[in-house]
Amino acid sequence: MDEYITIALPKGKLFKKSVELLAQVGYSADNVVEDSRKLVITNEAAKVRFIITKTVDLPTYIEYGAADIGIIGKDVLLEEGKDVYELLDLGFGKCRLMLAVPEAKQRPKLTDYAHLRVATKYPNCAKQYFDKLGVQMEIIKLNGSIELGPLIGLSELIVDIVETGTTLRENKLKEIDSVYTATARLIANRVSFKLKFARLNKLVQDLQKILEEEAK
């Protein structure tokens, strides 16, 4: 074991479970915390380095090889479309990208919503979805608090992530279609995976064993 493995972890909902899972297969370091002031956290003994990134940036770090592997939601992978190697479906962080409308403004058919405005953090996924449906929409890109869109008249609809459904309920929004389901994925830089194959392949196998145990 003579090389370091650099692991990118995303801030936000997947962070805690990612750290716990990696620690179970021997990849841990002191003070890997979400609000760490230290940007690179190294465990010299285990030859592992952690970097903590903004969620949407994580695939970029992997694509350029600034990190060898990382954990990220399939939703972000689909939206960002970066060239990375998807190694494993980790199963946790299950959520849905969906289309929602204010409860009071529902219409009978999906096509009845044509030519309206849709607020979303996922403009590429939303565009693909509406293209497939054959419905023309104006897509408005936001970076958060998407549910605000219909509440204040910025948009008529939203395409957003739903996990527990609490945010939808609290804002009196109704899901009218599901775009896709997503879970956390282990991804790798394509070159790193070849150059550091022995170590990374063992990591994948060890994670697989844990996931199988958990599923029993």
Between 63 and 160, whose beta carbon lies closer to ligand PRP? 160
For ligand PRP, the closer of residues 175 and 206 by Cβ is 175
Q: How far is the CB of 163 from ligand PRP (least distance, A)?
A: 3
Residue written as tokens 């805690």?
A: 16
Return the number of the residue (31 or 164) whose C-beta is nearest ligand PRP: 164
Report the sign of the C-alpha dihedral through residues 17, 23, 27, 32, in that order: positive
For helices 197-215 and 15-24, the axis angle rounded to 10 degrees is: 110
Residue nearest to ligand PRP (CB): 144
With contact defined as beta carbons under 8 Å apart, do 150 and 102 qualify? Answer: yes
Q: According to CB under 6 A, which residues from 155 to 184 bind ligand PRP?
A: 160-167
Question: CA–CA separation, 120 vs 139, rounded Å?
Answer: 7
Total residues belonging to the chain: 216
Q: In this structure, what are the phi and psi dihedrals at residue 144, rounded to the nearest 5 degrees?
A: 175, 175
Nearer to ligand PRP, 25 or 148 (CB): 148
Choose one: 61-69, 130-138, 141-149, 184-192; the region binding ligand PRP (CB under 6 A). Answer: 141-149
Shortest Å distance, C-beta 158 to ligand PRP = 9
> Are 8 and 70 in contact, with CB atoms under 8 Å apart?
yes
Q: Which listed residue (136, 145, 178, 201) binds ligand PRP by CB under 6 A?
A: 145
* Long-range contacts formed by 213-216: CB under 8 A, 24+ apart: 214/91, 215/91
Contact window for ligand PRP (CB under 6 A) among 59-67, 83-91, 122-130, 145-153: 145-153
β partners of residue 53: 10
Q: By CB under 6 A, how many residues form the interface with ligand PRP?
A: 13
Give yes or no for residue 146 binding ligand PRP (CB under 6 A). Answer: yes
Residues that bind ligand PRP (CB under 6 A): 121, 144-147, 160-167
